Structure 1
Amino acid sequence: MKPEEKDLGREGRSLKPETERAFANRVLLIRPQSFYSNPETLGSNSFQGEQSSGVDLSLIHYEFDSLHERLEQLGIGVELFESLKEAETPDAVFPNNWFSTHSSGHLILYPMFAPSRRRERREDIIQALQRRHGPYQILDLSAYESRAWFLEGTGSLVLDRRSRTGFCSLSARSSEELVKIFEQETGYSIFCFESLTAEARPVYHTNVMMSVGDTHALVCLDSISQPSQRKRLLEKLEEIGKSPLLIGLDQMESFCGNVLLLENGDAEKVWMASETAYRAFSKSQIQKLESEADLQFVSIPWIERLGGGSLRCMMAEIFPCSESPSPF
């Protein structure tokens, strides 16, 4: 079985460009019309809490709208959609898992672990992105769900687009077989490893234990039990010119790794974090992050507690097609 690739306007566009834009100045958000702790993902996400009673959707909307408003205040573009209530997609607020865009002119669709999350893939959103920022050529990897191979977008893959290097913590939601296919299709070099929570459970997504910025990379080395993998990860960061900013297991649990570096319309860089993460950073860590970019935080405790994801998961980076895209 091979991934489906649909030509939508630029013939012969390869998935292996020499360069890609490093940081997005526009993101896609999905405002949830239903939200609760997803029973299909609870077993594989130790960051996610069980739900004993219904949650007031107005609390979730307040948190979501706070992020939306902050991004617009910062001059970061927002593509805003609403989830489909009838589709029963409680994790739709985390759109970065089912697709990614690339300035080479490609949009990649990913195979999702939970059946409810597969319903998040929406043709209307894809077509809207095509009209506004395309035409994208689509690489559809979702068929690999039939083999129980999964790779959940920029949750599974933490990418340094400048060097075309990535990192993947293998888990039930991140299959090594799919990583190899991603490498073959895109030309990225992905370093795979295993990471564990304090309770010795696999970290469900790479982007909760590390984030790659311009000059720094946050990483929870304490979650990687194998010394050889820790050593190799640090070597990879040195190879791509990133200074490691180490976070502990307790900080990982507070979503200190689930942050994202963006740019505003004036190409000024901004770190986006949740208030939970910000409060867990040490003063010296904050100083290092602020030496690289403005550091902004938004309070989203209910989304974090019930969804098991934080601010980075809520933002899907949008990279418009280049005027003359390089082969990907």
Structure 2
Amino acid sequence: MITRDTASFLQAASATAPDFGPLTARAAFMVAPDGFRLAEQSAADNRYMAQADGFNAARASAQHRDLQRAISQVVPTVCFAGDPETPDALFPNNVFGTARVDGQARYVIGRMRHPVRQREAGRADIRGFFGDVLGYAPVDLSEQPHACELTGALVIDRARGLGFAGLSERCDEEGARLMHEAFGLRATLMFDLAPGEYHTNVVLAVLAGRAAVICPRGFADPSVLDAFDALYGPHAIRLAPGEHAAFAGNCIALSEDRVWMSAHAGRSLQPATRDAFVAAGFTVATVELDAIEAGGGSLRCCIGEVF
């Protein structure tokens, strides 16, 4: 089911068992920030982006390598070359995603809102990696008209097959429905993001199926937060505004015992928030990504997951 009705969603979601798939990805992929600079089209609806003079391409490239090196200690991590014609391509999880549906592996290609990002969907090397090397079947949403920026717009609980689709200019209701079907989910809740928010994964993360990290100000309707409390309490971790602004909500678990976020996000964490991660069974690991965050995304945005 896919719905805007929180009560109906909770009724269905509460009955799901954590047997949909593995809790975390078996590998990761990244795209190097070659030609990293301000993408003016993306800046039109991403308030987190810095001005043009705030971009440091060399520092972003070095930090990106540090990130790959760090997470490679946890999962195999492939990094594709960047393209100066696609300056936002270092955030590949918006364009390419993977899933296993009825035991069959597939890769999903999203439909980006802005033309500068739509170019990324045509990359033959990434398509070839998933299709020809890994043998995943394609589900190509890139040519239809509805914006659906994959795991930027759709946060997925991989354990139970649940989706949380934040609607904005980057994802409409039809786009959410297409992603729900493409990832083969059991139930998806749609909701409006607060004005000024562009992606769900900046304000919400689900960690290894047992915890949720929530930025309350990121949701237009506060009643949606009750769904996270019901599903993930006592490990529904609500972030303060300063933690939200520092990208602490843009985090990811690549194993069952560690949550990754940027060093800036880590420094923003209040003691109570750190205690909440510990109570949920996670240690916090960080990588310095201030140059990359100038591009309006943070650590989770840089990581595509291979399931």
TM beyond 0.5:
yes
Deviation per CA, 1:38-81: give whole Å up to 9, x if none.
1011110011111137x443211111111111112x23210111
Q: Name the structure 1 match of 2:44.
A: 43
Q: Name the structure 2 match of 1:245.
A: 237
Q: Name the structure 1 match of 2:59.
A: 59
Q: Name the structure 1 match of 2:292.
A: 303
Alpha-carbon distance between aligned partners in 1 of 2:53 and 2:150, rounded to the nearest angstrom: 30
- Give the Å deviation of 1:22: 2.2
Letter in 2 for 1:124: D
Alpha-carbon distance between aligned partners in 1 of 2:48 and 2:252, rounded to the nearest angstrom: 18
Equivalent residue of 2:43, what SS?
Answer: coil
Q: Name the structure 1 match of 2:192.
A: 194
Q: Name the structure 1 match of 2:97.
A: 100
Aligned pair count reads 282
Q: Name the structure 2 match of 1:5.
A: none
Residue 203 (str. 1) matches residue 171 (str. 2): no
Q: Name the structure 2 match of 1:276.
A: 264
Alpha-carbon distance between aligned partners in 2 of 1:233 and 1:130, rounded to the nearest angstrom: 38
Residue 175 (str. 1) matches residue 172 (str. 2): yes
With 100-109 and 285-294 compared, the bigger mean Cα shift is at: 285-294
Percent identical residues: 26
Alpha-carbon distance between aligned partners in 1 of 2:245 and 2:164, rounded to the nearest angstrom: 19
Q: Is the 8 A contact 1:26 1:78 kept in 2?
A: yes
Residue 286 (str. 1) matches residue 270 (str. 2): no
Alignment of 1:251-266 (within 5 A): 251-263=243-255
Q: Name the structure 1 match of 2:160.
A: 163
Letter in 2 for 1:311: L
Q: Is the 8 A contact 2:193 2:220 kept in 1?
A: yes
Q: Is the 8 A contact 1:217 1:242 kept in 2?
A: no
- Give the Å deviation of 1:160: 0.3
Letter in 2 for 1:24: A
Provide structure 1 residue ranges, at least 5 long, that are not aligned to the other structure: 1-17, 320-328
Residues 84 and 232 of structure 1, relative CA distance in 2, 3 Å threshold:
closer
Residue 221 (str. 1) matches residue 222 (str. 2): no
Deviation per CA, 1:1-27: give whole Å up to 9, x if none.
xxxxxxxxxxxxxxxxx7222211311
Deviation per CA, 1:151-172: give whole Å up to 9, x if none.
1010000000111111122110
Residues 236 and 209 of structure 1, relative CA distance in 2, 3 Å threshold:
closer
Residue 127 (str. 1) matches residue 128 (str. 2): yes
Aligned alpha-carbon RMSD (Å): 1.9
Q: Is the 8 A contact 2:97 2:109 kept in 1?
A: yes
Deviation per CA, 1:106-128: give whole Å up to 9, x if none.
11111001111111121211212
Q: Is the 8 A contact 2:131 2:137 kept in 1?
A: no
Alpha-carbon distance between aligned partners in 2 of 1:36 and 1:293, rounded to the nearest angstrom: 34
